[in-house]
Every structure is written in structure tokens, then in C-alpha cells.
Amino acid sequence: MKIHVRGLSRTFVAAGRETPALLDVDVDIAEHEFVCLLGPSGCGKSTLLNIVAGFLRPSAGEVLVDGRAVTGPGADRGVVFQEYVLFPWLTVTGNVEFGLRLKGAGGAERRAIVARYLELVGLAAHAEKYPVQLSGGMKQRVAIARALANSPEIILMDEPFGALDAQTREVLQDELSRIQRVEHKTVLFVTHSIREAVYLADRVVVMTSAPGRIKQIFTLKLPELRDRFAPEFTQYESEITRVVKEEVAKVHE
Amino acid sequence: MSYGNRALGVMAPALLPTPGEVAAVFADTVSDGSLPRHVGTSLARVGVGFGLAALGALALGLLAALCVPVRLMLEPVIELVRPIPPLAFLPMFLVWFGLGEGSKVAFIGYTTFFPMFVAIAAAVLRVDVTLLRAAASLGAGHVDLIRRVIVPAALPGIIVALRLGFALALFVIVGAEFMGADAGLGHLIMEGRTFFLPAQIVMGALVLGLLGSIVNASLLAAERRLFRWREQTI
């Protein structure tokens, strides 16, 4: 197992009141596996991702990556954020090579790697632009290229397509699926879109409403290259929808 | 206005110099080399005083913003001293640093430090924490975070702080040179008062205004070059 999540709980304290966000979560993620975390908003799925990334400390339990406890962020776990979070003062190239510069990679090596990943995300023609000149979809492509160029074994994605319009979203899902077939990363992907989860994931982890616990795990028996209109696809979609709806209903009770 | 005054005799003509008289003083002092000398003296004092204050404000501003104990220690001291109009302390600077360059440089440094420190610390505190997270998950350590994320992200705010500090330095140099100086634009203006040369006073004030706008314009131009990334150029 690449990632072990063991008995993980997290409580937030605001204005003297304790709010449990995660309660005793156990998940294992295998190497090269693509796992989607799905659940109603506020169920703690982003909290779980932030703990795996090392941005937040758990209140109890631990996360092990390759058997070692996570104590902070690191280059072994690339992160793609919902709101892109590009460095606005750097060009597309500057953003993509950020991690390579930190490692002290030479100019020729950096150029080759940047060219490869900009090609992979279809942005080779925009290498010298600044983020402010790019559309949302292009920014997220840069963010994906930046994470991949650093060659982490794990990629953590926190609702990466949540801020995009429906068309761009599907295009980027297609691209991510294609990229994953090339790169074979271990991916933890947070989303609230069931369709997105069924399209991308090997396994879908459905969480309960707050405090977040694991409700059910679906192992998808679908081909690598998926057809959103195949009967098996829509079968999974409606099955998972039923489970998620129970939790959404609880939020509104 | 001054020509109207001459015609109507509202004020004594000597009290309101005409542009022609001001230009004449300007031409005279330029040709005998005294104006360039005064400007040079003032700018040197402003440069050194502001430069030292800027370095101090940058270092302490970063430190205070990044290190909570330092912030807690500095904040009360700064909030105590900052509201006091600096000019009120000018006589103390003359007592401490004497009539020479020391008192002018120290006074400019003292005056410009506080607003720059506060603005720089605020600019650093405003840096988006998700930028730091993004950099840390690409492998950035503490030094990388400061050098490659915090400084560039806070730079627009830092430049604004420096611009304000410099304007303030030009503002207070006059006051510092009113007291016990033998050169500088403030001295030139004071001399105009002592020997009753209104044209010289007005000329000194205009030169100060001109210097201020030249410096501001060049800093703005530098800012535009430096921050091309903020411009929308689709």
C-alpha cells in the first residue's frame, strides 16, 4: 500500500466550540491507484486531503506514505488546488519548473521536462504567458503540469475542476484520464461530482455527512478508457447517487 | 496672480514674487552652482536616511510578519512611538546627533522607518497561505518560501511602502534642514526667509516638488516594468 490512513480524526475549534470534521477514517490506497473521495459538502473530504498533503495535523490517528508518517508537506506528494494557486509573478514555464529549480536541476534538464509536460497538457504555445493571461481551464492545466513535472509518486487533487464550466470540466477529465494512462500516479481526488468520480476512479470512497466517516467504498470494474454513456457506467452512477443522497438528506434534516 | 497683485496693489509687491523673478533666481543659482549643490546635499541625506530606514523596515517587517514572538514584542513599542509627529522629536535629534549630517540622516531614517515597517509587515501578512502550501508541496523549505514566494508575492506592497517612505523623506528633509544646516534645499528656503528673498523661497519649494514628482514617476515606471505579470493583456 502506498498510502495508509489509520484512525484519522480531526476536530476544528472555532470560538470555543469544537466541530468534528473527520471521525476515525481508515483508507488504504495502492500504488498507481486512482481513488476519488466523494461526499456532501462539509463532509471533511478536503480536510482528509489536506492532512495527507501535510497542510493540517490530525487530532488523532496518522497518515503513512511508504510506511513513513506524514509530518508536513513534501515534494513526494504533488497537490492540485481547486483555485489553481499558480505563482502569478512567474510565466507558465516558471510555474512548471518551480519544483525543478528547488531541486537544483540544470537548465537543459528543466527545459526538456517543461517542454514534455506543457506538450502533455496542450499548452506548448503558451509557455511564456503569465497566469493572468490564461483562462481557468488553462490555469488548471498549468497546475497539473507543475505537479507532474516535479515527478511525485502521489498527486492529491482537491476539487480541481470545481471552478470550471461544465464543458471545460469534461475536456479536462478526458485529459486527466489520458495523462493517468501515461503517468500511472497514485492519485487521491476529491470531488462532489459522482459522474466525475465514476469517470476517473479505480475506487470511489463515499463519505458520510459531517463528521466525515467512510460510508461505502465502490471498486469500479470498468475499462481504463471509459464511456460516459455505457450501461455499466450509468449503473455505477445511479448506485453511488443513491448512497450519496442518503447523506445529503441527513444534512437537510 | 502675482502680476494681478502688482497691478492692483493688494499686497506689497515684494511679498509675492512673479514667475519671472523665480525663474531668474533659478537661473542664477544654477549658473553659480549653488542650487545643484543644495539639491545634491539634500538628496544625499534623503538617500542615506531613507536607504537605512528601508533596509531596517524590510528586515524587521519580514521578521515581524513571519515570526509571531517578534511581532508581539515590536507591536506595542511601535504603536507607542508611531503616533507621535516625528517633527516633535527633531530637536532631540539635534541634541543627540549634533548639527552635522548625522542628525538629518537619523531624523529622516526615524521618520520614514515606521510607516514603511508597518506597510511592509502588512504586505507580507497578506501573502496567500495557499501559495505557501503550493510551494511547500513542490519541495520548498523555509528559505525557499521566503525567497521564492513571500518576497515576490509581497513585492508590489513593498514597493508601495518604499514609494511612500521616499515621498515622506522628501517631505521632512525640509524641516530637518530648517534647523542648523549650512546646505540643502531646506537651508536655501530658510536663507530666503532670513534675507527676505521670497523668490528664493518659492523657487526652493518648486524644486522640491519637481524632485518629488520625478522620483515618483521613475518609481512608477519601474513598478510597471517589474510587475508586467499583473497586467491583463489577452
B 115-144 residues with CB < 8 A to A = 128, 130-131, 133-140, 144
**Residues on chain A bordering chain B, Cβ-to-Cβ distance under 8 angstroms:** 53-55, 72-75, 77-79, 81, 83, 85-91, 98-99, 101-103, 130-133, 146-147, 150, 156
Nearest residue of chain A to residue B131 (CA atoms): A85
Domain boundaries, chain A: 1-76+191-253
What band does B229 get if pLDDT is binned at 50, 70 and 90?
Answer: confident
What band does B231 get if pLDDT is binned at 50, 70 and 90?
Answer: low
Residue B86 has pLDDT above 70, yes or no: yes
Residue with cell 507543475: A146
For residue B71, the model assigns a pLDDT of 87
- Domains (ranges, CATH) in chain B? 41-176 (1.10.3720.10)
The DSSP bridge partners found for residue A10 are: A22
For residue A230, the model assigns a pLDDT of 92
H or E segment at A238? helix A231-252
The interface predicted TM-score of the complex, written ipTM, equals 0.91
**Strands A60-65 and A68-69, bridge-based pairing:** antiparallel
A133/B137 CB distance under 8 A: no
Tell me what the mean pLDDT of segment B135-151 comes to. 94
* A1-76+191-253: in CATH 3.30.70.2740: no
How crowded is residue A127: how many other Cβ atoms within 10 Å of its Cβ? 16
Tell how far CA A181 is from the center of its chain: 16
Kindly report, residue by residue over A158-191, the tens digit of the pLDDT.
999 988 899 999 999 999 999 999 899 999 999 9
Any A CB within 8 A of B230 CB: yes
For residue B234, the model assigns a pLDDT of 40
Residue B14 has pLDDT above 80, yes or no: no
| A36 compared with A41, residue with greater pLDDT | A36
What band does B230 get if pLDDT is binned at 50, 70 and 90?
Answer: confident
Q: List the single residue in A83, A102, A132 with the smallest CB-CB distance to B230.
A: A132
Residue A56 has pLDDT above 90, yes or no: yes
Side chain identity, residue A117: Y
For residue A245, the model assigns a pLDDT of 86
Q: How far is B80 from chain A (nearest CA, A)?
A: 30
B153/A89 CB distance under 8 A: yes
What are the backbone dihedrals phi and psi of residue B46, each rounded to the nearest 5 degrees, phi first?
A: -60, -45
| A249 compared with B57, residue with greater pLDDT | B57
> CB of A244 within 8 A of CB of A40?
yes
Q: How far is B29 from chain A (nearest CA, A)?
A: 46
Any A CB within 8 A of B225 CB: no
Poorest-confidence range of A102-111, A136-145, B11-20?
Answer: B11-20
